[in-house]
Amino acid sequence: MFPKWLKKTLYFFVSLFILLNIMASFHAYKFTHFYAGIPPAKKPDQMSILEKTDAIFIGVKYSKSKVVDSFQVKHETITIKTLDSVKLESWYAKADSNAKGTILLFHGHGSSKSGMIKEATAFHEMGWNVFMTDFRAHGNSEGEVCTVGFDEAKDVKAAYEYIKIGGEKNIVLWGISLGASTILSAVNQFNIKPNKIILEMPFGTLEDAVKGRLRTMHIPENPFSVLLTFWGGVEQGNWAFNFRPQNFASKVNCPVLLQWGLHDLRVTETETNTIYKNLASHNKFIMIYAQSGHQSLCKNEPTKWLSTVSGFLN
C-alpha cells in the first residue's frame, strides 16, 4: 500500500500531466488553423479576464490572412493547383523581354503575398519576373489547415512546376521564415532544382519553430515545446519531430544566400549556423543584419539588403 501522501502526490502530477496535454492539444490545433470571416485575434491587453482565461487554456482562433493588392507593378492573378488538388492564388509580374529569369516568393506563417510586395518590387526593378504565391490556408488560397511546412512543400513544387513548364530556364526561390524552411522541405521531398535560393530566417526544426513562438509569448520552452510539437503532429497525421529543415539543407547543391537578423527572437543563431553548415552547396553565403529581428530585412535594412541580394543574383 502506498502512503496517503504519496497517492495524493501521484494524483496531482497525473492530473497536471493530463491538463497540460489537453491545453497543448488545443493550442496546437489553433496554431495550425486559420478561419475566414472572423476578426483578428485581440492582443492580451485588449482581452477581458474571461477572454484571457480562454486564451491560456484553449488558445485563440486566428483569422485567415487577407490580401491587400497594393502591388504597383503590373501583374496578373494566376490560380495553380497542388499535387493534392489545393487551389493556390499567385501574382505574376513579368519584366521586359530581357528579364534575367523568374523569382518565386514564399511568405511566412500567418502572412500572405501582400507581405512580400516590398521584396517583389525590388526584384522586379532588378530586372526579374516575380511570382508570389499564397500558401494553403493563407490569403486567397484554399484551405484552413497549415501544416507548418509538411504539405506546404507541395505548394512550392506547384509554383516551381508552373514556371518551369512555362519555359523558364533561370528560376530562383526566395522565402522568409516558414517560406524559407518550406523551400528546404520542397527540395528534400521533390528534388526540385532551382538555379539559386535565398533563405531568410528559416527555422531549424519544427520543434525549434515552436520554441521560438513560445519565447515571443514569454512562455517556458520546456515542457511546452515538446507537447505542442507532439500534438500538432498527431492532429495533422504526421510525426512533427521529423520535420527538420536543417537536415534537408544537405540536399541543396545550388548557390544559396542565407540571411538572419541578429535580434531575431524566433530563430536562433545556432539554428542558422546549423543550416549553413549543412548546406551541400559549394557556393553558399551567410549575411547577418545587425539592426533586424524576425522581420522583413528588405524593409528594415533596405540598403544592405539590396546590395547583398543584387550581388548574389548577378
* pLDDT digits 0-9 by tens, 72-99: 999 999 999 999 999 999 999 999 889 9
Cell of 178: 516558414
Show Cβ contacts of residue 286 under 8 Å, excluding neighbours closer than 6 positions: 257, 258, 259, 260, 272, 276
Burial of 127 (0-12, 13-18, 19+ CB in 10 A): middle
Q: With 90 as the cut, is the pLDDT of residue 244 above it? A: yes
Query: What does pLDDT average to over the chain?
Result: 94
Enumerate the domain spans of the chain.
76-205+243-313
12-26, 113-127, 264-278, range with the lowest pLDDT: 12-26
pTM: predicted TM-score of the whole model, two decimal places: 0.93
Partners of 196 in beta bridges? 172
Q: What is the pLDDT of residue 97?
A: 84
Q: What is the pLDDT of residue 1?
A: 61
Burial of 220 (0-12, 13-18, 19+ CB in 10 A): exposed
- Topology classification of domain 76-205+243-313: Rossmann fold (3.40.50)
> One-letter amino acid identity for 226?
V
Q: With 80 as the cut, is the pLDDT of residue 298 above it? A: yes
Cell of 257: 544566400
Confidence of residue 2 (pLDDT cuts 50, 70, 90): low
Q: What is the pLDDT of residue 39?
A: 84
Confidence of residue 216 (pLDDT cuts 50, 70, 90): confident
Burial of 237 (0-12, 13-18, 19+ CB in 10 A): exposed
DSSP string, 4-35: HHHHHHHHHHHHHHHHHHHHHHHHHHHHTBEE
How many whole angstroms separate alpha carbon 114 and alpha carbon 28?
A: 26
Confidence of residue 197 (pLDDT cuts 50, 70, 90): very high
Can you tell me which residue has the cell 522583413? 296
Q: What is the pLDDT of residue 45?
A: 67
21-51: per-residue pLDDT in tens? Answer: 999 999 999 989 998 888 887 776 677 888 7
97-142: per-residue pLDDT in tens? Answer: 899 999 999 999 999 999 999 999 999 999 999 999 999 999 999 9
Taking Cα atoms as reference points, which of 68, 66, 59, 67 lies closest to residue 32? 59
Confidence of residue 5 (pLDDT cuts 50, 70, 90): confident
